[in-house]
Amino acid sequence: MGTVTSTDGTEIAFERTGSGPPLVLVHGGACDHRFWDLSNIRSTFAEQYTVYPMDCRVVGKSDDAAEYELEREFEDVAAVVDHLDESVTLLGHSSGALLSLEAALRINDLHKLVLYEPPIPVGNHELYSEEALAEMKRLLDEGKNEQVLVLFLREIAQSTPEEIDAQRSAPDWQDLVGAAHVWPRSVQAVGEYEFDAARFADLTTPTVLLTGSEGPPFLKDATERVNDVLPNSRIITFDGHAHEAMLTAPDRFIEEVLVFTLESN
């Protein structure tokens, strides 16, 4: 693991695999950098890229600060990218896509941007119910950490049973259970995020937005909203799949990402 010091002094961890131009991977909620090892995502990308999967703060090997603000996580992603000191392709999934989108405004040399269903509040959609958040906090107080994690995946991320089973079998599952206190605060912070379209009007980085046809409507609407705002973006839909096509259709996911990231601008 390597580390970089973020703006507020927090140490953010990442790994390095492969060779070639840099590709930074930003996981979503209820994951750490090992998420990208499921379905051989990281190892396949490493055949074309030097891959840098990072750990978001407090997850995996990354540290945390005394107080939490979502904006610090935007700065964490930017710190990892800028540390590499060359033009980087940035790929974020779920909340990691939101972090990556915001980080793009803070990065000096960004080659391309890949965003898989950033959970941005749009229209009348709510990212979570107050009941689900209260239940997560209650389970956490009772020490039922694994139930907190499953509830997050089922009710907040709206992962399918197949997707949840894939994550349960992953080597990082117990570590994520141990970090269960992170998920309620992250859910609440993302739910309170306000998307200001005007801030992204000049973000001309070539961008592809990925979405699943079977995913939650609020994520599809959020993806379309971001696509409408960005001046140089397009959407790719994984028909028959939901929020984690990298697990349920890994070959297609890898192919779509590589075709976009390797093509000339």
The residue ranges of every structural domain in the chain are 2-126+194-262
pLDDT in tens, 107-138: 989 999 999 999 998 887 777 788 988 999 99
pLDDT on residue 187: 87
pLDDT on residue 208: 98
51 near 93, Cβ under 8 Å? no
How does residue 225 score in pLDDT terms, banded at 50, 70 and 90?
A: very high
For residue 132 the two structure tokens come to 């689900």
Fold of 2-126+194-262: Rossmann fold (3.40.50)
pLDDT in tens, 86-95: 999 999 999 9
pLDDT on residue 161: 87
Average pLDDT, the chain: 93
pTM for this predicted structure: 0.94
Q: Which CA distances in Å does 251 have to 28, 157, 186, 257?
A: 20, 22, 30, 10
Nearest one of 257, 215, 263, 264 to 115, comparing CA atoms = 257
pLDDT on residue 62: 96
> Can you tell me the distance from the alpha carbon of 36 to that of 31, in angstroms, rounded to the nearest whole number?
9
pLDDT on residue 69: 95
> Can you tell me the distance from the alpha carbon of 162 to that of 245, in angstroms, rounded to the nearest whole number?
11
207 near 115, Cβ under 8 Å? yes
pLDDT on residue 180: 87
**Which one is predicted more confidently, 28 or 181?**
28
Rounded mean pLDDT, 130-151: 93
pLDDT on residue 32: 93
28 near 157, Cβ under 8 Å? yes
Nearest one of 50, 49, 48, 69 to 6, comparing CA atoms = 69
Query: For tokens 């001309």, what's the residue?
Result: 204
Residue 265 has pLDDT above 70, yes or no: no
pLDDT in tens, 233-257: 999 999 999 999 999 999 999 999 9
Query: For tokens 């009348």, what's the residue?
Result: 124
pLDDT on residue 82: 96
pLDDT on residue 156: 82
pLDDT on residue 169: 84
For residue 260 the two structure tokens come to 């976009």
Residue 182 has pLDDT above 90, yes or no: no
Percent with pLDDT over 70 in the chain: 100
User: Which residues fall within 8 angstroms of residue 155, CB to CB, at 6 or more apart?
Assistant: 128, 129, 132
193 near 122, Cβ under 8 Å? no
117 near 242, Cβ under 8 Å? no
Residue 41 has pLDDT above 80, yes or no: yes
Residue 139 has pLDDT above 90, yes or no: yes
For residue 165 the two structure tokens come to 């089973």
**Which one is predicted more confidently, 81 or 154?**
81
> Can you tell me the distance from the alpha carbon of 25 to that of 254, in angstroms, rounded to the nearest whole number?
13
Rounded mean pLDDT, 34-38: 92
> Can you tell me the distance from the alpha carbon of 54 to that of 13, in angstroms, rounded to the nearest whole number?
6
Rounded mean pLDDT, 225-238: 98
60 near 33, Cβ under 8 Å? yes
What's the chain's Rg over C-alpha atoms? Answer: 17
